[in-house]
Amino acid sequence: MHKGFKPLLIVAACCLAIWGLIAYNQPRLYHSQSYVFGTLVDISIYGEPEARARALTNHILQDFQHLHQQLHAWKPAADNQASELSTLNAAFSSGKPAVNISPRMAEILFDASKLSQQSNGLFNPSIGHLIGAWGFQRDEFSAVNIDKETISNLVKANPRMSDIVIENNTAYSNNPNVKLDLGGYAKGYALDQAADYLRKQQVSNALINIGGNIIALGQHGDTAWRVGIQHPRKPTAIATLELADGWAIGTSGDYQRYFMLDGKRYCHIIDPRTGYPVQHTQAVTVLIPPQAAHSSQAGVLSDVASKPIFIEPWAQKSTIAATLGIQHYMAIDQASHAFVTPEMQTKLTWLDADFKKHLHVQATALH
């Protein structure tokens, strides 16, 4: 049985406790840990008075909690009060006409729809019924009875983000089989919101980590923030890299949210085309530079872009990466061999000799 805790990237900077490397006597470094979005949240702020850093962190965590309650796919926001996402899903299922949604929800759905189209539907937050059928809409994961007919019918129902119509902060669905699950988007969105807030508060140096999706502001004193990429089968890092100002990093892996059945691993990353969890890949890590205004931002892309690359077969991974505009990525196959782009390879400092020995450097496809 596996809980929904998802530390997909290990922060190797001395400011983070994940590796026991916090140096609490570091001057002007404030560090906080909490638990939101069903995972561990680390916030480090450098160069601010402790009282101000604490107040800023508390504001961010409160916003994270509100976002979590708003976007939860199966838990109520409060007693007898459904989350906004659950209310919207109920309206879709019943075929109701347009219902009111918040401006933030409208913004999220517009952006998620655009990214879904760009990924050729491989990033598809509308397959909530499939995610539930595999038992991944709960806090603890155990083996489920695989109902092939149910899965086949859910795939044939073909829910897509394009089925959702959004007008003037209202939304309805042309397909009653649409059920939104924004678990592959929300953490990245929260990163961008937190980074934007800190910049508006004139904070220059911070590192925000939500369950392995990380974004950096400035640096840690005289050095860049350094993070580590987790071994998909061991509690250690396989490599580290420096995360520059405004850059974000995220990993999709098969090693936290999964169950075992008849010797096979079934993870939470589902191919919408087949309805089944992906089994040919252990992990995909993407590194995202700052993005232009009025486009999907680095945090969101760190959460979203790794999933289509994870889902596609190995022959197509570089093509979908290019389609998404991703130049820096690493994919690890079921034999624990790492495939990295030349751009990503220049960023990595390898810690695991076995991975480095079996390393394959391959160019991204032209697009």
Q: How many CB atoms lie within 10 A of CB 367?
A: 11
Question: Is 95 within the bounds of a domain?
Answer: yes
Question: Is 325 within the bounds of a domain?
Answer: no
pLDDT more than 70, % of the chain: 90
Backbone angles phi, psi at 132, to 5 degrees: -65, -40
pLDDT for 76 equals 66
Range of the domain at 167: 77-173
pLDDT for 356 equals 83
Question: Is 296 within the bounds of a domain?
Answer: no
How far, in whole angstroms, is CA 189 from its chain's centroid?
9
Number of domains comprising the chain: 1
pLDDT for 77 equals 60
User: Is-above-0.75 flag for pTM?
Assistant: yes
Question: Is 225 within the bounds of a domain?
Answer: no
pLDDT for 364 equals 59
Question: Is 153 within the bounds of a domain?
Answer: yes
Question: Is 91 within the bounds of a domain?
Answer: yes
Q: How many CB atoms lie within 10 A of CB 293?
A: 5
How far, in whole angstroms, is CA 163 from its chain's centroid?
23
Question: Is 113 within the bounds of a domain?
Answer: yes
Residues of the chain with pLDDT under 50: 1-25, 366-367
pLDDT for 362 equals 78
Question: Is 254 within the bounds of a domain?
Answer: no
- Provide the b/e sequence for 123-146 (b: ≥16 CB within 10 Å): bbbbbbbbbbbbbbbeeebeeeee
Backbone angles phi, psi at 204, to 5 degrees: -100, -25
3-class DSSP assignment, residue 44: strand
pLDDT for 53 equals 98
Helices (H), 119-242: 128-133, 148-157, 186-200
The token pair that represents 303 in the structure block: 């959460």
Nearest to 287 by CA among 223, 336, 244, 234: 244
Backbone angles phi, psi at 178, to 5 degrees: -70, 125
Q: Count H helices, E strands: the chain?
A: 11, 20
CATH number of the domain that 129 lies in?
Answer: 1.10.3980.10
Distance CA 127, CA 141 (A): 18
pLDDT for 23 equals 41
